[in-house]
Amino acid sequence: MPAAHSYVTTLADKVLRHKRQQISLTVRALLRGFGYERRTETVVDTIAAALHTLGLDAALSLVFPHSLDEKVTISTLNPQAPTVSPAPALPIVQVDLRVAAARALPATVAVQTDSGIGSGFIIHPDGLVVTARHVVEEDGSSLRSVQVTLMAGSPNERTVEGLVVQSHRQLDYALLWLLDDGPFPTLPIGAPQMLAHGQIVLTIGCPSGLHNTVSHGIISNPCQFLGGIEYIQTDAAIDPGNSGGPLIADDGVVGINMWILMGVGAAKFALPIDYLADEIVQACTLGRAACLAAVYCPACGNLDLAPQTWFCRSCGMRFTPHEDLAVALAT
């Protein structure tokens, strides 16, 4: 029998001490106890197997509980319980390439700075755009204002200003609002935790400035753990200029194209979109005006909704009037 995970030992002690021999904790806490941030099929199976080594069971599946902040019950296995046959494996869903491309192209944008060009995609009709932080970064700090080209190559092509409102250094994502009236075409958000090996996916972006470039490939690994981050690994062709663009499955965008491992064809990496699910919900709930009125830290990417101070409450960076463009725009 394999050795029990140290966290399982801790859980088992708490369960056995409880009079009902069960405890509850959030899905997020359970995942982090085992060293994970995302819930995937592999992660769920791994946790279940680890719990079983000490006679524990969790009411956890890929889709239940729905939210990572909902609670899951850990209890002792009941040897008298009837054996339940496992559910049949889900078939791999293959995306209809033409339909997916036609749906995604209008919502995919080019993000232009003085340093170069990257890609992004719109997820809210009022103009909330997702891209990569390194696309909007210069000299280690995030820009506040960038140029965003919509509907490139079509009669409706136009370039509008976009203001960055939140970003993350390690995860390398950024959110920005377009300073123009919508509604804008949007990409639906898919479920990266449902991806499977061999599943067909699309990428869209502007490699070397070539707008509306579509490529496709397969999922090489739906959960590749590198540098403390779980990436989606594919063999889809991406190049400089694709960064920040969407990785698309049949149900919508599942990841943000980020980087490649040179010399390895099946080593293109995208950040799963659910890494920034909370930030997307917050930005959509607040709306464009409230996000732009808040203070944005170009160093760490924090969006501060509290009254302005002379320093960033997240990283401690000092703000000066010429650096704090959010305040300048609001005055």
By annotation, the residues acting in catalysis are: 134, 172, 243
Token pair recorded at residue 49 = 């197997």
The Cα angle at residue 218 between residues 247 and 203, in degrees rounded to 5: 25
Ramachandran region, residue 78 (left: φ > 0; alpha: ψ -120 to 50; beta: rest):
beta
Short-list 284, 264, 285, 247, CA closest to 132: 247
Q: Are 51 and 58 in contact (CB under 8 A)?
A: yes
The DSSP code for 86 is P
Closest CA to 59 of 46, 43, 48: 48
Pair 21, 38: CB distance under 8 Å: no
Nearest in space to 146 (alpha carbons), one of 135, 157, 130, 158: 135
Which residues lie closer than 8 Å to 197 by C-beta, 6 or more apart?
218, 219, 220, 221, 222
Residue with tokens 């050795």: 3
Phi, psi of 7, deg, nearest 5: -70, -35
The amino acid at 314: S
Which two tokens mark 208?
Answer: 């070397």
Joined together, the tokens standing for residue 136 give 């909007």
The CA-atom distances, in angstroms, between 255 and each of 90, 124, 205, 271, 313 are: 21, 16, 13, 5, 29
Structure tokens at 35: 């060293």
For residue 188, what is the DSSP state? P
